[in-house]
Structure 1
Amino acid sequence: MKVLAADGISPKGIELLKKEFEVDVKDKISAEELLEIIPEYDALMVRSASKVTAEVIERAKNLKIIGRAGVGVDNIDIPAATAKGIIVINSPGGNTIAATEHTMAMMLAMSRNIPIANETMQKGEWNRKQYVGVELRGKTLGVIGMGRIGAGVAKRAMAFDMDVIAYDPYINEERAKSLGVTIGTFEDVITKSDFITVHMPLTPDTKGMIGMEQMKKMKKGVRLVNCARGGIIVEEDLAEAVKQGIVAGAAIDVYTSEPVGPDHPLVGVPGIVLTPHLGASTVEAQIGVSLDVSEGILAALKGEPVATAVNMAPVSPQVMKVISPYLTLAERLGGTVVSLADGPVEKVEVVYNGEITEVNTGLLTTAVVKGMLNPIMENEVNYVNAPGLAKERGIKVTEVKEKEVEDFTNLITVKAQVAGKELSVEGTLFGSEGRIVRINKFRVDVDPHARILVCPHINRPGVIGTIGSLLGNNGINISAMQVGKTEVEGTSLMVLTIDNDIPAAVMEVIKGMDGISDARLVNFYTI
């Protein structure tokens, strides 16, 4: 078998592959040359330069796997690869240590004024008294997001004798205890911490989650770190907060738009340390992603399971024919459950009813878990790593098959235990289109293709109209509406299909409306 390594892959990974296969190395390859030579290769390794388009995949007669030496796979047409049965893998964990250590480096550089002290020293100045710093020892570090990087930062901070308080709505007490951290609310973290570091994915819920309103609630002398995703901290507000002394300092590696120009609000603000997205930029990380992808290619070409596949694991054509129409629906059922949850999911039971029980539904159960974890994980969740990530977070996943079903040919029910309460969402196919047909006890008929606003409410005149007017006045279009009822008199569930994101301020207004019990936005674009 033959492997093509493009885009300057680290030699360490190439050496590993050469022990088993013939490897051609082309550090710089044009799109035209790639199209011309791809038919002869069984595996392709790229970084970000080469574009693995649908045309490239169509011409790849022998290709079995595409490996991306890094996290992002935007340069690979994954649907085209999946349709042709080609596995696509990446290296989601190869830069975990690099990002963790960079966070610590930024925290230390900021607290001891190292960048500005070095800059002035290079000019021949000696400003020892001007750059007195603060110690980490004895301080409280607030970690927002306890994925692998957040957990790694917490571990290292404790080695500095820091107390760690963490906010992650999807981590349970058992997991927190094993990590040695105290779990708190978001409000706890921003009001009690001396240092705050964010490690969340950028989603509609986390975008702008730390702005001036939150900064004004923080302790005097607080310092902020963001090595996760640009946009979680409002950049203009951070610059102003540091200038006003509301925030003592900040260390930022990621930005809303990159690269950053001289007119960026954070540039030139004393007390703010900036680096050009260096979180994954270490020699070891580049070697790590190369080795990760090479090991994945070795496994795939030997017919073994691949742990970092971003598309689905191999399934027999017979089973795939039955379950493939349900994959997206299963993901969105999982995403709906986690969006409605009030805390960490402790247990998930996926119940299958109908003819679908006659085949292996394991991949569908994985799709449910993938849909649950995608909105809350910092790193990408795929069909292979989802079960392990769920186990890491203490989520027990079970599968039940019951042949009998009423009203539908097939039905998938996702039941989740959250703080001792059960949430449930049911879905089926109408033709080839997925539908959510029940949310808890409420019968609905919802197309989960965009965003839905879920509002339990008192069944009385004016409630629905008031929300409709509020959304309309804020430029938010409603494309469909469902009202589900139960046997409990006077209670209903309003489900609105929304074309736009709903700002947090508007969501708070909805939650406070007379007659509304709660309001949750489920964004299927993040699932």
Structure 2
Amino acid sequence: MAPRVLVSDKLSPTAVQIFRDYGVAVDYLPDLGNDKEKLHNVIGHYDGLAIRSATKVTEKLLAAAKNLKVIGRAGIGIDNVDLPAASRRGVIVMNTPFGNSITTAEHAIALLFAVAREIPEANASTKAGKWEKNRFMGVEITGKILGVIGCGNIGAIVASRGIGLKMHVIAYDPFLSEARAQKLGVQKVELDDLLARADFITLHTPLTDKTRNILDAGAFAKMKKGVRIVNCARGGLIVEKDLVAGLQSGHVAGAAIDVFEVEPPAADNPLFALENVICTPHLGAATSEAQENVALQVAEQMADYLLNGAVSNAINMPAITAEEAPRLKPFVKLAEVLGAFVGQSTEEDIREAEILFDGSTAAMNTSALVSAALAGLIRPQMPDVNMVSAPVVVKERGIVVSEIKRDKSGVFDGYIKLTVRTSKRTRSIAGTCFADGKPRFIQIKGINLDAEVGRHMLYITNSDTPGIIGTIGSICGRHGVNIANFALGRSAPGSDAIAMLYLDARIGDSVLEELRAVDGIRHARSLGFEVESDI
């Protein structure tokens, strides 16, 4: 059955057609995002939800979205999506961070000029029949210091434009490396330094707990007198009442605001009464080119994921390109079954998980493989967990996850080894994929073997003594348990040994009890593995 997508906000007809061209069933109901009750009633029928800013994806809505796999936001901001709730429920959240970058950056530069030369007020005055040349005495931007808060994709474009305008650009961004700053031609500084030095400050950071109210009364007090502010990012970055106070006192010479704490803002918003403030109605991404670009991009991303497993521009999931998805898929399944083996074999609380990538696997998209291993590890206790929600669950449980990559060290071109530590023991298992793409166990507890992974398996640890293999076969035969594959391994003659049996059906508890009663068998456990990957 074809996946179903609901478009609950206004989206380009071309984007809706892209879903259909991919073979995705799509319902275009652009006003549904404003009707919470109706949206709640129908969301359970859909695999994907395409939105802009009108639809609010709350925890309550997600609870009703039983089949939802992906949310696509046509635009960069995801303030209207409860990301933690989506992650816990295993729903991928995608945005389109590059489709409106140029448009937003250009609007910021336009506002920069407008606030520097008081263009809107001068325009209104002139159209009113006045000729107030002396009233509108602006400032040049050439040679001035432009402070960019948030130097990601859009911020970097604004910085580039600022440099082109012969401004000195300084940037505050905790994630900006010195090498990247040098390449952009900007000086990386701390926030307080930026506030103290900048003549113009422009914001281009997402709204998070750390950036909310980043410009408050304390921040304005640190700025030089006569500073001008531009905000085309998110309204919650600036405390509006503190900005109003700064503008009224003259400490802040002007501000150009495209986004507000509450949108649309109230008609009596104090900013509207100030002549040295320019306001636009969230126009940063509002060009025909940008609106079309983000709509087409989100449709392609969602369809590619639902049909091919490709993950791009996801906020809560490692990226997987369409090209690497076919090659990665067998190893995602391998990582998942390695985690599932340990998860089904461990009763104690897990404290640490170490994932080793050896040889060719080290060059793969290991972020996706780690997520798959964690999903397999946690799923025995939480059946609904998947690659999206697993990292969140693991973090909430305080499990320390580490990743190691190394060059080829053995006979296999590449393999993955998972080691898990609890308060009582350490468990480890390694596996690889052969040319047929099927996952295989190649080492358990340091003992080498070659075991094909099947839906129903029997895991036995025993002493290496004559007759045990025959006894295992006899017990299975007596109970009508058919063995598809029997893999063996031992640490040394007469020492510890392991048997992994691939069975046609799940083995019953009575058979397990009989096996455990055999002299020399230390442990017998039934294991189950999903044979179809959910990537």
Range into which the TM-score falls when normalised by the shorter chain: 0.5 to 0.7
8 Å Cα contact 1:57-1:81 kept in structure 2: no
Which amino acid letter does the alignment assign opposite residue 138 of structure 1? G
Contact 2:355 2:404 in 1 (8 A): no
Aligned counterpart, 1:318: 337
Aligned equivalents of 2:193, 2:232: Cα separation in 1: 21
Q: Quote the residue 1:237 is aligned against.
A: 242
Change (3 A) 1:11 1:242: same
Partner of 1:98: 103
2:206 corresponds to which letter in structure 1?
P
Q: Distance in 2 between matches of 1:267 and 1:240?
A: 13
Deviates more, 1:206-215 or 1:110-119: 206-215
In the TM superposition, what is the alpha-carbon distance from 1:36 to its structure 2 partner? 7.7
Of 177, 185, 197, the residue aligned with 1:172 is 177
1:116 Cα deviation after fit: 0.5
Matches of 1:36 and 1:257 in 2, distance apart? 27
- Give, as a single letter, the amino acid of the residue that structure 1 aligns with 2:109: M
Matches within 5 A, 1:46-445: 46-49=51-54, 53-54=61-62, 57-58=65-66, 60=67, 65-72=70-77, 87-312=92-317, 316=333, 318=337, 321=340, 362-363=367-368, 399=404, 403=419, 409=425
CA 1:48–1:230 in 2, change beyond 3 Å: closer, same or farther?
closer
Q: CA distance change for structure 1 residues 323 and 192 in 2, over 3 Å: closer, same or farther?
A: farther
SS of 1:254's equivalent in the other structure is coil
**2: CA distance, partners of 1:258 / 1:281:** 15
Equivalent position of 2:439 in the other structure: none
Q: Per the alignment, do residues 177 and 6 of structure 1 end up closer, same or farther by CA in structure 2, a change over 3 Å counting?
A: same
Separation in 2 of the partners of 1:262 and 1:274? 12
Which residue number in structure 2 is paired with residue 15 of structure 1? 17
Once the two structures are superposed, residues 185-214 of structure 1 have per-residue CA deviations (whole angstroms, 9 ceiling, x without a partner) of: 323222222111122334454344434444
- Contact 1:44–1:67 under 8 Å retained in 2: yes
Closer/same/farther in 2, CA of residues 158 and 383 from structure 1, 3 Å limit: farther
Report the Cα offset of residue 111 of structure 1: 0.6
Question: Structure 1 residue 70: deviation in Å?
Answer: 3.3
Structure with higher Rg: it is 2
- The alignment-based identity, stated in percent, is 42
Any idea what SS the aligned residue of 1:92 has? coil
The match for 1:25 is 28
**Counterpart of 1:267 in 2: which secondary structure?**
helix
Q: Which one-letter code corresponds to 1:57 in the other structure?
A: A
| Residues in 1 aligned to 2:88 and 2:42: alpha-carbon distance in whole angstroms | 21
AA partner of residue 220 (structure 2): M
What is the distance in 1 between the residues matched to 2:300 and 2:343?
28
Secondary structure in 2 aligned to 1:166?
strand
Letter aligned with residue 265 of structure 1:
P
Structure 1 residues 251, 88: CA separation in 2 closer, same or farther (over 3 Å shift)? closer
Distance change >3 Å, CA 290–CA 108, structure 1 → 2: same
CA contact (8 A) 2:352 2:421 kept: yes
Say if 1:195 and 1:33 are closer, same or farther in 2 by CA, change over 3 A.
closer
Deviation per CA, 1:447-467: give whole Å up to 9, x if none: xxxxxxxxxxxxxxxxxxxxx
5+ residue gaps, structure 2, are 319-328, 345-350, 373-386, 392-401, 406-416, 428-535
Q: Confirm or deny: 8 A CA contact 1:310 1:383 kept in the other structure.
A: no
Q: Cα offset for 1:299?
A: 1.2
TM-aligned CA distance change 1:266 to 1:43, over 3 Å: closer
The one-character-per-residue Cα deviations of 1:348-389 (angstroms, maximum 9, x if unpaired) are xxxx9667669997448679xxxxxxxxxxxxxx979x9xxx
Q: Secondary structure of 2:206's partner? A: coil
The Cα offsets for residues 140-186 of structure 1, whole Å up to 9 and x where unpaired, read as 11112211121111011111111111122332211110111112232
Going from structure 1 to structure 2, the CA distance change for 1:323 and 1:36 (only over 3 Å counts) comes to farther
Please, what TM-score do these two structures have when normalized by structure 2?
0.56
CA contact (8 A) 1:354 1:410 kept: no
Does the Cα contact within 8 Å between 2:198 and 2:223 map onto a contact in 1?
yes
Check whether the contact 1:365–1:399 (CA below 8 A) recurs between aligned residues: no
Which residue identity lines up with residue 14 of structure 2 in the other structure? Answer: K
Q: Amino acid of the residue matched to residue 169 of structure 1?
A: P
Letter in 2 for 1:26: L
Cα deviations by residue, 1:276-304 (Å, 9 ceiling, x for unpaired): 33222222222122111111133124314
How far is 1:79 from its partner? 7.5
Q: Which amino acid aligns with 2:246?
A: A
The superposition leaves residues 436-482 of structure 1 with CA deviations (integer Å, 9 ceiling, x where unpaired) of: xxxxxxxxxxxxxxxxxxxxxxxxxxxxxxxxxxxxxxxxxxxxxxx
- Counterpart code for 1:46: I
2:354–2:418 Cα contact (<8 Å) kept? no
Name the CA shift for 1:184/1:67 in 2 (closer, same or farther; >3 Å).
closer
Cα deviation, 1:406-456, whole Å, max 9, x if unaligned, reads: 956579xxxxxxxxxxxxxxxxxxxxxxxxxxxxxxxxxxxxxxxxxxxxx
Q: Would you say the 8 A contact 1:354–1:409 is kept in 2?
A: no
Letter of the 2:228 counterpart = R
2:147–2:201 contact (8 Å) kept in structure 1? yes
What is the rounded CA distance, in whole Å, between the counterparts of 2:44 and 2:314 in structure 1?
A: 22
Q: 1:48 to 1:197 in 2, by over 3 A?
A: closer
The farther-off stretch of 286-295 and 356-365 is: 356-365
Partner-residue secondary structure (3-state), 2:140 = coil
The CA RMSD over aligned residues, in Å, is 4.1
* 8 Å Cα contact 2:255-2:276 kept in structure 1: yes
Q: What's the TM-score, normalizing by structure 1?
A: 0.57
Q: Distance in 1 between matches of 2:403 and 2:294?
A: 33
Q: CA deviation at 1:5?
A: 3.6
C-alpha separation between the residues in 2 aligned to 1:78 and 1:205?
A: 16
Q: Contact 2:155/2:204 (CA < 8 Å) preserved in 1? A: yes
Q: Deviations over 1:467-500 (max 9, x none)?
A: xxxxxxxxxxxxxxxxxxxxxxxxxxxxxxxxxx
Distance of aligned partners of 1:406 and 1:140 in 2 relative to their CA distance in 1, 3 Å threshold? same
